[in-house]
């Protein structure tokens, strides 16, 4: 069996004209609007990015101030510790005449109607014995 050839058609016979609406091309006006909107968006993004960067710089400045204040606080705590030290206070107290009394000069004064309270050392000894007795 052999194939039968298809009759050849000319190119002009295959083409035909379709009537319809003319395609409207964008005018220069529409391109201008698109360009202006694009530029506005571009500059808006630049302004937003600049504002974020400015905030980041301010935040870094605040962090640096916090570090400086923490260091100042630590220095002041060290100064307070030095000022409170007994090594510094003892010579000053001796210059003012504040000294420990001699044990021979200590006198106990009792008043009628006043209850004698045990010292903290006696209480602590009692508590220690109670705690050591418990398992």
Instruction: Give the confidence band of 119 by pLDDT, cuts at 50, 70, 90.
Output: low
Given a cut of 90, is residue 60 above it in pLDDT? yes
| Spatial separation of the C-alpha atoms in residues 7 and 17, rounded to whole Å | 23
Whether residue 111 contacts residue 105, with contact meaning beta carbons closer than 8 Å, is answered with no
Phi, psi of 114 (to 5 degrees): -100, 130
**CA angle at 112 for the pair 125 and 100, rounded to the nearest 5°:** 55
Distance (Å, whole) CA 119 – CA 121 = 5
Cβ–Cβ under 8 Å, residues 64 and 71: no
Q: Provide the pLDDT for residue 2.
A: 72
User: Taking all residues of the chain, what is their mean pLDDT, rounded to a whole number?
Assistant: 84
- The pLDDT value recorded for residue 134 is 60
Q: Percent of the chain beyond pLDDT 90?
A: 40
**From CA 89, how far away is CA 16, in angstroms rounded?**
114
This prediction's pTM: 0.42
Give mean pLDDT, residues 55-59.
91
């Amino acid at each position: 069996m052999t194939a039968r050839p298809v009759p050849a058609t000319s190119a002009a016979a295959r083409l035909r004209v379709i009537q319809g609406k003319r395609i409207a091309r964008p005018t220069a006006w529409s391109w201008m609007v698109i360009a202006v909107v694009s530029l506005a968006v571009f500059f808006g993004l630049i302004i937003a990015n600049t504002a974020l960067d400015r905030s980041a710089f301010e935040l870094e400045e605040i962090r640096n101030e916090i570090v400086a204040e923490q260091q100042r606080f630590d220095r002041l705590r060290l100064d307070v510790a030095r000022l409170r030290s007994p090594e510094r206070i003892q010579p000053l107290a001796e210059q003012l005449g504040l000294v420990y009394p001699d044990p021979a000069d200590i006198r106990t004064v009792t008043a009628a109607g006043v209850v004698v309270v045990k010292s903290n050392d006696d209480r602590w000894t009692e508590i220690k014995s109670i705690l050591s007795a418990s398992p």
